[in-house]
C-alpha cells in the first residue's frame, strides 16, 4: 500500500498532511510512504527528514498521483476548488483521497470526485464521539485558531493585556470577551488569561459555564431561554432569528465594555451567525479590537470583511482566514497525528485498507465511493434520493 503526501496548492497554505514523526506507525502497518518534493518545507519539515524516516521523495506531482493508492492532503479538491481542479484529472478509479473537503459548504464537489471513481473521506465530518477524538481535525485546528486569535488581538490592541504596577502608576488589565465556547473559544479564554487579561465568555449552551470558570473566566448570563441550544456531539445548534435579535440586544453593553472581542461561532455548511452588530461596534471604545474567527463563512460581526483588517468607528476588526496555517509547524504536527490515526483505523492487521460502512467513524466521513456519493447528508443537499441499505452496502 502506497500512501502519498501531496504538496498543498491552496494559496497561502503552509501545512502538510503528514509529518516525519508519524510515518513509523504507518510503515509498521505495511505502508510505503511517498512524499512530493518540498511538501513539508513551508511547515518546517525538509525532504531529508522524511527520507530519514523511511519515505521516498517523489520529484513531481503527476508521478505521486499516478503511484499512490492513498493520497493524504490538508485540502482536497473540495476545499481547494480552483488550484485543486488540476488534480481531478490525475485521480483514478479506486484511489483513496483523505483530507479537508468542505463537504457541507460545497457538496457538488463531492459529486465531481465521485465521477472520478475515487473513495473520498471528508475529515470535517468526523463524528464527535470518544473513539474519534484522536482523529478530530476540526478540534485540533480550532485549538490553534483560538490561541492565535488572542495573539492577533494583543498585536492590534493599543493597550497591554496584564495589569502592571509601575513607577508611572497602575496599568489596568485588558478586558477580553470570548463569544462561543467551543474548542477555539476555550483556547482563547486560556490564552487571554495567561496573558493577564480579565476574561469573560458567552455561549448559548449554559452547560459550558463550568468550563469557562475552570479556566479563570467569567461566564456571561444574558437571562435568555437556551433550552435546546445544544445538539448532537455537543455542538451549538442554529438559533431562530428572534432569539438572535434578543441575544444581540442583551449583549450590547457587554460588548461595549470590552477592549477585545473574539468571536468563534460557526455552523458547518452555513453562514456564520451575526453576534456583533454595527451598532455594537459603534458603542465600543476607540482602539478596541474584534477578532472574528467566523470570517471564513461571512463573519460573526456585521462589519467584518473576510480576509481583511478594517477600522470602523475607531474599532479594528480582523477577519482572518485559515488561521491554523499561520502556525504551520505545530498545526501540521496535530493534523498529521489525526490523519495517521484515521489511517490506522482503516488499515487492518494484514495491511489492507478496509472501508466498513457499519463503522460509525468510517461511514461518518465517507463522501463517495464506487462512482456514487454515499454520505446521506450530502445526497440530501444535492437533491439525490437516499440510498437503500443494500445499495449502500454495494457502493461501499
Question: Which entry of 62, 111, 128, 246 is annotated as an active-site residue?
Answer: 128
Which are the contacts of 5, defined by CB distance < 8 A and separation ≥ 6?
A: 16, 17, 18, 33, 34, 35, 36, 39, 40, 50, 55, 72
CATH number, domain with residue 172: 3.40.50.720
Is there a single domain that holds both residue 251 and residue 268? yes
Q: Is the dihedral of CA 105, 111, 113, 118 positive or negative?
A: positive
What's the confidence (pLDDT) of residue 392? 44
Catalytic residue check, 25? no
The answer to whether 293 and 320 have CB atoms below 8 angstroms apart is yes
- Going residue by residue through the chain, which has 396 residues, state the pLDDT in tens, using 9 for 90 and above: 999 999 999 999 999 999 999 999 999 999 999 999 999 999 999 999 999 999 999 999 999 999 999 999 999 999 999 999 999 999 999 999 999 999 999 999 999 999 999 999 999 999 999 999 999 999 999 999 999 999 999 999 999 999 888 888 888 999 999 999 999 999 999 999 999 999 999 998 888 999 999 999 999 988 776 655 555 544 555 667 777 777 778 889 999 999 999 999 988 888 998 999 999 999 999 999 999 999 999 999 999 999 999 999 999 999 999 999 999 999 999 999 999 999 999 998 888 999 998 999 999 999 999 999 999 999 999 999 988 764 444 433
Is there a single domain that holds both residue 312 and residue 336? no
pTM of this prediction?
Answer: 0.91
For residue 176, the enclosing domain spans: 139-321
Spell out where the chain has E strands.
Answer: 2-5, 32-36, 56-58, 70-75, 96-100, 119-122, 164-166, 169-171, 175-179, 198-202, 218-219, 260-263, 289-292, 309-312, 315-318, 366-369, 372-373
Is there a single domain that holds both residue 119 and residue 208? no
Catalytic residue check, 333? no
What's the confidence (pLDDT) of residue 205? 85
Catalytic residue check, 66? no
CA proximity to 274, closest of 241, 307, 306 = 241
Number of domains within the chain: 2
The answer to whether 100 and 31 have CB atoms below 8 angstroms apart is no
Spell out where 60-207 has E strands.
Answer: 70-75, 96-100, 119-122, 164-166, 169-171, 175-179, 198-202
Catalytic residue check, 116? no
Question: Which entry of 49, 194, 235, 359 is annotated as an active-site residue?
Answer: 235
Question: Which entry of 61, 95, 102, 136 is annotated as an active-site residue?
Answer: 136
Q: Which three cell numbers stand for residue 79?
A: 476545499
Please give the Cα distance from 184 to 41 (Å, whole number).
27
Among 321, 351, 368, residue at a domain's last position: 321
Is there a single domain that holds both residue 356 and residue 310? no
How far is the first Cα of the chain from the last one, in angstroms, to the nearest whole number?
19
Burial class from Cβ neighbours inside 10 Å (0-12, 13-18, 19+) for residue 168 reads exposed
Is there a single domain that holds both residue 301 and residue 337? no
Catalytic residue check, 133? yes
Is there a single domain that holds both residue 126 and residue 218? no
Question: Which entry of 66, 67, 93, 133 is annotated as an active-site residue?
Answer: 133
Question: Which entry of 34, 139, 288, 363 is annotated as an active-site residue?
Answer: 139
CA proximity to 276, closest of 254, 307, 308 = 254
Please give the Cα distance from 374 to 386 (Å, whole number).
9
Q: How far is CA 243 from CA 145, 206, 227, in A?
A: 27, 15, 11
Among 304, 321, 338, residue at a domain's last position: 321
What's the confidence (pLDDT) of residue 393? 44
What's the confidence (pLDDT) of residue 389? 60
Is there a single domain that holds both residue 164 and residue 263? yes
Is there a single domain that holds both residue 283 and residue 182? yes
Is there a single domain that holds both residue 155 and residue 250? yes
What's the confidence (pLDDT) of residue 97? 98
Please give the Cα distance from 378 to 366 (Å, whole number).
10
Is there a single domain that holds both residue 108 and residue 94? yes
Among 321, 339, 370, residue at a domain's last position: 321
> What backbone phi and psi angles, to 5 degrees, belong to 275?
-105, -30
Is there a single domain that holds both residue 284 and residue 165? yes
Is there a single domain that holds both residue 23 and residue 121? yes
Q: Which three cell numbers stand for residue 219?
A: 461566564
Amino acid at each position: 500500500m502506497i500512501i502519498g503526501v501531496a504538496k498543498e496548492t491552496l494559496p497561502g497554505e503552509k501545512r502538510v498532511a503528514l509529518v516525519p514523526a508519524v510515518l513509523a506507525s504507518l510503515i509498521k502497518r505495511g505502508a510505503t510512504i511517498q512524499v512530493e518534493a518540498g511538501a513539508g518545507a513551508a511547515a518546517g519539515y525538509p525532504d531529508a527528514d522524511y527520507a530519514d524516516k523511511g519515505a521516498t521523495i517523489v520529484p513531481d506531482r503527476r508521478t505521486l498521483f499516478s503511484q499512490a493508492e492513498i493520497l493524504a492532503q490538508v485540502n482536497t479538491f473540495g476545499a481547494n476548488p480552483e488550484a485543486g481542479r488540476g488534480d481531478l484529472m490525475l485521480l483514478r478509479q479506486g484511489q483513496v483521497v483523505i483530507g479537508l473537503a468542505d463537504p457541507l459548504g460545497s457538496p457538488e464537489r463531492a459529486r465531481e470526485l465521485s465521477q472520478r471513481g475515487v473513495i473520498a473521506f471528508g475529515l470535517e465530518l468526523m463524528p464527535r464521539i470518544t473513539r474519534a477524538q484522536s482523529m478530530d481535525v476540526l478540534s485540533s485546528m480550532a485549538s490553534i485558531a483560538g490561541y492565535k486569535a488572542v495573539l492577533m488581538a494583543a498585536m492590534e490592541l493599543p493597550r497591554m493585556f496584564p495589569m502592571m504596577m509601575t513607577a508611572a502608576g497602575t496599568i489596568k488589565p485588558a478586558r477580553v470577551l470570548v463569544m462561543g465556547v467551543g474548542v477555539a473559544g476555550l483556547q482563547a479564554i486560556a490564552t487571554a488569561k495567561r496573558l493577564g487579561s480579565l476574561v469573560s465568555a458567552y455561549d448559548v449552551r449554559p452547560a459550558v459555564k463550568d468550563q469557562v470558570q475552570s479556566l479563570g473566566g467569567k461566564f456571561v448570563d444574558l437571562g435568555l431561554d437556551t433550552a435546546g441550544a445544544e445538539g448532537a456531539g455537543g455542538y451549538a445548534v442554529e438559533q431562530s432569528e428572534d432569539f438572535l435579535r434578543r441575544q444581540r440586544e442583551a449583549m450590547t453593553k457587554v460588548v461595549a465594555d470590552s477592549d477585545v472581542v473574539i468571536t468563534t461561532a460557526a455552523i458547518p455548511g452555513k453562514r456564520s451567525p451575526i453576534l456583533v452588530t454595527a451598532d455594537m461596534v459603534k458603542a465600543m471604545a476607540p482602539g478596541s479590537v474584534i477578532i472574528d474567527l467566523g470570517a471564513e463563512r461571512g463573519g460573526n460581526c456585521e462589519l467584518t470583511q473576510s480576509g481583511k483588517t478594517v477600522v470602523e468607528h475607531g474599532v479594528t476588526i480582523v477577519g482572518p482566514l485559515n488561521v491554523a496555517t499561520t502556525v504551520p509547524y505545530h498545526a501540521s504536527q496535530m493534523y498529521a497525528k489525526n490523519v495517521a490515526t484515521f489511517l490506522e483505523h482503516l488499515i487492518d492487521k494484514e495491511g489492507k485498507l478496509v472501508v466498513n460502512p457499519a463503522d460509525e467513524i468510517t461511514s461518518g466521513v465517507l463522501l463517495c465511493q464506487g462512482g456514487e456519493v454515499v454520505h446521506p447528508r450530502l445526497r440530501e443537499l444535492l437533491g439525490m434520493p437516499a440510498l437503500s441499505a443494500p445499495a449502500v452496502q454495494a457502493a461501499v
